[in-house]
């Protein structure tokens, strides 16, 4: 995958540490504000300042997904935590549309979106500057912001609704498959696929 075909991709991407997957498989993927005391060990990879800003915008009530796995957020997280192994949880865009998930067509913390508007899925999707998304690099603020458009889920997403879990290597693939099997998830989807390139410490 490259950013040039991000618009026509079928999936949405959520980055999380591998260590969170056991809880996610047991309890579903939750908005931050729905995490309870039984999930205190859940690793939050976002910068605390960013978490505070998102909370002020009531975005803690949503699960954020990106339209590709190459956002500046993903790049920063992977470089800031080289000791943590990550995976990508994906859902289909059709699922997000059918469930009425919302879209913010640019980075919600950017200056031009200080008080972001949450659009209906199709309206927000059409408002994304896909030409900017397809542009290499993040030097231009508008390009960087467009690449960080978000799709927001306001509910717990069960594992049965995942499409893929992308992993960096065979070891992780075996681990995730074993977790699925132990929790009784024996049918596909969700699939578990190795996609090592997307976990490289680089950005497009």
Q: What is the pLDDT of residues 34-71, one digit of tens each?
A: 877 555 556 666 555 555 555 556 677 889 999 999 88
Domain count, the chain: 1
d(CA 166, CA 172): 9
CB 160 within 8 A of CB 6: no
pLDDT per residue over 144-200, tens digit each? 999 999 999 999 999 999 999 999 999 999 999 999 999 999 888 999 999 999 988
Parent domain of 132: 3-199
In a domain, 122, yes or no: yes
Predicted model pTM: 0.88
Locate all alpha helices (DSSP H) within the chain, ordered by sequence. 21-27, 48-56, 72-80, 93-98, 121-127, 130-133, 141-147, 170-182
204 within domain boundaries? no
Q: Give a yes or no: residue 185 inside a domain.
A: yes
> What are the structure tokens assigned to 41, written together?
């060990």
Task: Tell whether 34 is covered by a domain.
Answer: yes
Determine contact, residues 144/76, Cβ cutoff 8 Å.
no
On whether residue 154 sits in a domain, the answer given is yes
């Amino acid at each position: 995958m490259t950013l040039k075909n991000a618009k026509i991709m079928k999936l949405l991407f959520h980055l999380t540490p591998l260590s969170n997957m056991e809880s996610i498989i047991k309890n579903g993927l939750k908005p931050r504000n729905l995490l309870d005391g039984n999930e205190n060990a859940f690793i939050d990879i976002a910068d605390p300042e960013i978490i505070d800003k998102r909370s002020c915008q009531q975005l803690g009530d949503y699960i954020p997904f990106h339209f590709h796995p190459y956002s500046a957020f993903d790049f920063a997280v992977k470089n800031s935590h080289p000791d943590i192994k990550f995976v990508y949880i994906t859902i289909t865009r059709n699922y997000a549309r059918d469930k009425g998930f919302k879209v913010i067509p640019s980075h919600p913390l950017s200056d031009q979106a200080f008080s972001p508007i949450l659009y209906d899925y199709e309206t927000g999707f059409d408002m994304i500057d896909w030409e900017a998304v397809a542009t290499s690099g993040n030097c231009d603020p508008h390009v960087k912001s467009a690449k960080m458009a978000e799709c927001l889920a306001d509910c717990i997403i069960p594992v049965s609704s995942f499409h893929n879990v992308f992993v960096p290597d065979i070891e992780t693939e075996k681990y995730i498959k074993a977790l699925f099997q132990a929790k009784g998830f024996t049918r596909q989807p969700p699939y578990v696929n190795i996609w090592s390139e997307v976990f490289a410490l680089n950005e497009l």
